[in-house]
Amino acid sequence: MAMLEVSNLRIWDSRTGSVMVPGSSFQVGKGSCLGIVGESGSGKSLTCRAIMRLNKPGIRQSGDILFNGVNLAQLSEKNMRPRRGKQLYMIMQNGMRAFDPSCLIGVHLREVLSGHFGWGREEITIRMKCAMSSVLLKDPIAVMNSYPHQLSGGMLQRVMIALALVLEPDLIIADEFTSALDTLSRFEVMEQFMQLRQRMGCSVMFVSHDLGVVQKLADEILVMKDGMIVERGTTEAIFSGAMHEYTRQLVSSSLALHHRFQAVTGGMQHVERERRREVL
């Protein structure tokens, strides 16, 4: 059963008339994980933001976006706003953009959670402290009393994952959530993201340039090029027998980079060594 059904999604720039996504259709099943891959500018992030109705002014869209039977494309902004967070949750590529730079992290968290649940400050602090500890954030109270610029990219990503644990959304959309992180942080955030999905059983749709991440997380894959979906299939089918030449190039390039990483750094053994060093 599909939780999300996107039909004939068209995205264009109203100022220039340029069409970035001419017409995409796909589904995300209940409890399943869909990975979207493709080169920069292929329309992946635009598609994610279109579902959330968060593209910049001037970027227009048409088509149907059915989420649990409700057409999000027909909702007013007033009716769309309460669905963001509790039902549809987005983990952004750059953690700094997810938080108001002028506010403490705790202020942002309280605004979101009190808006959705009506909880008081003490209840929110207890729940967020527990969630932050579960994603290995040390001293959650200090984190909540920090400004976004005082935290690393990996810490901000973990705060977003912790918030998802508390909100328990039906669908999580993650846009390149590991691309801005170093090797160690990327590995740890990916681990936390995998645990998030296992614990909540929610549907997931995510964008990544890292096909290693996609292979670990996704049940199905969409391949986009120049705004078009050129191939789709199960993760196993895409990696073992891709039909489209562009997909085969992506897979082969990813495997070459993976082998190069293993040769130069020692691969995951290097990551484990760094983790032990940090603990010590």
DSSP 220-242: EEEEEETTEEEEEEEHHHHHHH-
pLDDT score at 194: 81
For the chain, the average pLDDT equals: 87
Host domain of residue 43? 2-279
Residue pair 215/235 in contact (Cβ under 8 Å)? The answer is yes
Count structural domains, the chain. 1
Q: What is the SS3 assignment for 8?
A: strand
CB 130: neighbour CB atoms within 10 A?
A: 13
pLDDT tens digits, one per residue of 193-230: 788 888 888 899 999 887 888 888 899 999 999 999 99
- Give the separation between CA 55 and CA 40, rounded to whole angstroms: 17
* Predicted pLDDT at 269: 56
Return the structure tokens found at 110.
Answer: 């309280």
- Distance from C-alpha of 50 to C-alpha of 258, rounded to nearest angstrom: 32
C-alpha to C-alpha distance for 280 and 278, rounded to whole angstroms: 5
Q: What is the structure's pLDDT at 103?
A: 93
> At 10, is the pLDDT very low, low, confident or very high (cuts 50, 70, 90)?
very high
How much is the pLDDT for 270? 53
CATH number at residue 272: 3.40.50.300
pLDDT tens digit sequence for 129-183: 999 998 888 999 999 999 999 998 889 988 998 999 899 999 999 988 776 667 7
Strands, sheet with 70-71, edge to edge from the N-terminal-most edge strand: 19-29, 2-13, 59-67, 70-71
Query: CA 67, 70, 72, 77 torsion: positive or negative?
Result: negative
